[in-house]
Amino acid sequence: MAGYLMYSWSNGIGELRDPYGHRVEVRSGNQGSALSKCRELFRRRYPRFDSDEIRVVRKH
Note the Cα 2 to chain centre separation in Å.
Answer: 13
- Nearest CA to 31 among 5, 7, 4, 55? 7
**pLDDT on residue 58:** 81
**pLDDT on residue 2:** 56
**pLDDT on residue 1:** 54
**pLDDT on residue 25:** 98
pLDDT digits (tens, 9 = 90+) for 1-60: 558 999 999 999 999 999 999 999 999 989 999 999 999 999 999 999 999 999 999 865
**pLDDT on residue 60:** 52
